[in-house]
Chains A and B, each alone.
Chain A
Amino acid sequence: DAKTTQPPSMDCAEGRAANLPCNHSTISGNEYVYWYRQIHSQGPQYIIHGLKNNETNEMASLIITEDRKSSTLILPHATLRDTAVYYCIVRKTGTASKLTFGTGTRLQVTL
């Protein structure tokens, strides 16, 4: 699976949009981009995923560049409960493919 690069930490004011970047320059055509987050030591929580089109759900939006070498997770109105470690993971489709977690971005939402 392609390796991803994320900033180690980011801050965001409550109520503002949080834009979390991810580089995946070696992504291949059959690999999806998945975003998860982990609050404290809870289980990773699925947020959103995409292949090449931008995606939106009730939690977030995912913007993938046209060359697919990077993406941005957008939390439109961050709250204190969005403070967590956010993981960008690229995974091949097919069979049971595992998720390979990096160190992620620690997002701190402040008042």
Chain B
Amino acid sequence: EPEVTQTPSHQVTQMGQEVILRCVPISNHLYFYWYRQILGQKVEFLVSFYNNEISEKSEIFDDQFSVERPDGSNFTLKIRSTKLEDSAMYFCASREEMSNQPQHFGDGTRLSIL
């Protein structure tokens, strides 16, 4: 069964450094999402992306964050200057075009900021 894949599984970065999290969505999906989950807290929406532009973003998704679909298969989340509070699990999800179809999630990248 096709799945969303995320790399790396664990990223350790010094505070203030830039980090790029990578996702390969399911191949025929057209909607892409990033969520995050701080340890012990709820899964929170960050951003949705369709047709090469951001559809919606949350308050968390400030100017330090950006997303890109650099080619036909990858979807990336960049954090420009990481902060300690960016430490979390980051999940990528994708969805088919039909609006009632479910989002499918990857297994996440654990981001640890030192």
Contacts and interface: CB of A to CB of B under 8 A. Distances in A.
Contacts of B42: 101-103
B75 interface: no
A49 B102 contact: yes
B100 A99 contact: no
Interface stretch (B14-22, B65-73, B78-86, B104-112): B104-112
8 contacts: A42-B108, A43-B106, A49-B102, A96-B48, A96-B49, A98-B33, A99-B35, A101-B44
Nearest to B43: A101
Interface residues of B, number: 28
A101 B46 CA distance: 12
With most chain A CB atoms within 10 A of its CB, the pick from B37, B42, B93, B100 is: B100
Nearest to B41: A103
Given A41-B37, A41-B89, A43-B108, A96 B50 contact: yes
Interface in B26-65: 31, 33, 35, 37, 42-45, 48-50, 55-56, 58
A103 B44 CA distance: 11
Interface string A74-110: 0000000000000100000111111111110000000
Contact of B99 (A46, A93, A98, A99): A93
B18 to A, nearest CB: 24
Interface in A8-48: 32, 34, 36, 38, 41-46
Interface of B is mostly: strand
Contacts of A46: 102-105
A96 B55 contact: yes
A59 interface: no
Contact of A49 (B49, B56, B100): B100
A65 B44 CA distance: 28
A98 B107 contact: no
Nearest to B30: A96
A95 B99 contact: yes
A56 to B, nearest CB: 15
Contacts of A51: 100
